[in-house]
Structures are given as structure tokens and as C-alpha cells.
């Protein structure tokens, strides 16, 4: 069974004080209301906060901390870059790779995303590979073609394992208040799982977790995590509110995600 996931991408929000206040409110409430092992929770704060938040969690805490990006190189003269070794040393276990804002704002090409994925795997961290099409590409009927190219370029030469995650985030639904229809989300997530099965093994495809992201809120998450091939959510704006993110995590834990089907 694939354990369903609630992943919080805070992007460039919160002061350190606000981040710690979130942890102090969210973590005890989660432990009180959600059965242990029923949902995997990872928080992706701004990188300077990773160490501080990790220190507030016990070693037995089921909550993990991740980073929103990584440099392609192991080390060197790369001002402003953060390596996998640095991130792991401060407590990060998961790394988001290829988020649409890195692709379309920061200029990360499919090839750069592939190099970052290689770095994550080489540094023994858990990747969360983001894929997704823009609105024009969907309207032109090219959504699957775009996602397949993103998958192929990123995973070429690398082994996919059940420990990695793939997040389908249609670009036009991120931070816009718009959502992919559940049937469209299921169609794409099923396509991704089939792609993994064809290029690796059916066992890997069955084990890997696929998340949906794109204006996820507490009042719409249930529509998505009930889908057979959606194992949870990568949540943006709604994850900044501890109460709303708690409700999202509760719903995912209660419904179980596609992994229980």
C-alpha cells in the first residue's frame, strides 16, 4: 500500500517566527487527530528555516522537512547555490525538482531539471519531480506530450524507485484558483503511472506515489485523493494556514488516497 501524502510548499513566504508558530500549532494537532502512519507529511519551507524547524521535531516525528530546489553540482564556486550535501546536513530529506515556477520563472529547462534530479539521487535524497503543462499546451491537445517529454528527459539514465514521487501540477492551475477537473487529473496521473510501468517495471509503477497540485484547498482535496492514481497533494497557498493544511492532511488520511485501491 502506498502511504498517501500531504506536502506543503511554502515558497517564499513566512518569517522564521511565523514558520515556527506554524509548527507549534500544526504538529500537536496532527498527532492528536490523525492515526500514525495514515499520511506522510513533508514541509518545504524557505531554505534558511530548515535547520530551525528540524530542531523542533523529535527524531521519532513522522513529519519530514524538504527543500524547494537544489543546485546541479555537488559543491564549488556557485554563489547562492545550495547543494544536496548542505541540505541533508541541516535535516532535509526531500527535494522538489522542476516546479513550474523554477521552469517558467527561473528558466530551468528539462535538461537542467534532469541534472538536478541526478544530484538529488546521487546525494541520497528523495526527489519530488514536478511535471505539468501550460494552458496553451492543454488547449492544443499536447498536455500528455509535454509531460512525457518532461518525464523522459528527467529520468533518462536514472532508476525510478518507489521512494521517489512525481507531482502533476498543471501550470495554469497553480496559484490561480483554477483546478483541473478530477477526471483530467486522474487521466494524467494514470498516464504518468503507465509511463513509469513501461519504462521501468510494473512493480515500481505500483509503488511510486503520484501527487496532484494546483490550487488545492481543504474544500476540494477530497475530490482528488479519491482518484485511483492520486496518492496525495503538493499544496501551495493553502499550506500556509496551519488549520487549513491540517484539514487537508486529515482528509487525505481519512480517504487514504489512490494507494489503497
Q: Which residues pair with 234 in a beta bridge?
A: 7
Residues 109/129, Cβ–Cβ less than 8 Å: no
Known catalytic residue at 169: yes
List, as one string, the DSSP characters of 118-182.
HHHHHTT-EEEEEE---HHHHHTT-HHHHHHHHHHHHHTTS---TT-EEEE--GGGSSSS----H
Catalytic choice (94, 99, 101, 137): 99
Kindly report the number of other CB atoms within 10 A of residue 140's CB atom: 12
Determine whether 199 is an active site residue: no
Pick the catalytic residue: 101, 133, 137, 169?
169
Give the C-alpha separation, 103 to 252, whole Å.
28
Report whether 155 contacts 198 (CB < 8 A). Answer: no
Catalytic residues: 99, 169
Amino acid at each position: 500500500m502506498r502511504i498517501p501524502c500531504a506536502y506543503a510548499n511554502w515558497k517564499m513566504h513566512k518569517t522564521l517566527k511565523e514558520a515556527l508558530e506554524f509548527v507549534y500549532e500544526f504538529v500537536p494537532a496532527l498527532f492528536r487527530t490523525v492515526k500514525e502512519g495514515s499520511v506522510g507529511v513533508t514541509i518545504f519551507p524557505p531554505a534558511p528555516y530548515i535547520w530551525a524547524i528540524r530542531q523542533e521535531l523529535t527524531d521519532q516525528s513522522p513529519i519530514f522537512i524538504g527543500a524547494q530546489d537544489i543546485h546541479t553540482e555537488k559543491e564549488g564556486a556557485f554563489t547562492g547555490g545550495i547543494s544536496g550535501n548542505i541540505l541533508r546536513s541541516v535535516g532535509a530529506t526531500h527535494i522538489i525538482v522542476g516546479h513550474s515556477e523554477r521552469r517558467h520563472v527561473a528558466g530551468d529547462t528539462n535538461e537542467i531539471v534532469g541534472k538536478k534530479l541526478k544530484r538529488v539521487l546521487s546525494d541520497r535524497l528523495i526527489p519530488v519531480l514536478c511535471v505539468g503543462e501550460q494552458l496553451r499546451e492543454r488547449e492544443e491537445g499536447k498536455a500528455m506530450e509535454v509531460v512525457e517529454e518532461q518525464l523522459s528527459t528527467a529520468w533518462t539514465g536514472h532508476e525510478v524507485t518507489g521512494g521517489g514521487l512525481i507531482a502533476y501540477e498543471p501550470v495554469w492551475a497553480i496559484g490561480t484558483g483554477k483546478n483541473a477537473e478530477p477526471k483530467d487529473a486522474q487521466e494524467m496521473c494514470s498516464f504518468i503511472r503507465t509511463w513509469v510501468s513501461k519504462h521501468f517495471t510494473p512493480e515500481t509503477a505500483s509503488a511510486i506515489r503520484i501527487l496532484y497540485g494546483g490550487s488545492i484547498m481543504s474544500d476540494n482535496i477530497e475530490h482528488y485523493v479519491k482518484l485511483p492514481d492520486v496518492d496525495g497533494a503538493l499544496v501551495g497557498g493553502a499550506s500556509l494556514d496551519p488549520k487549513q493544511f491540517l484539514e487537508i492532511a486529515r482528509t487525505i488520511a481519512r480517504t487514504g488516497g489512490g494507494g489503497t485501491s
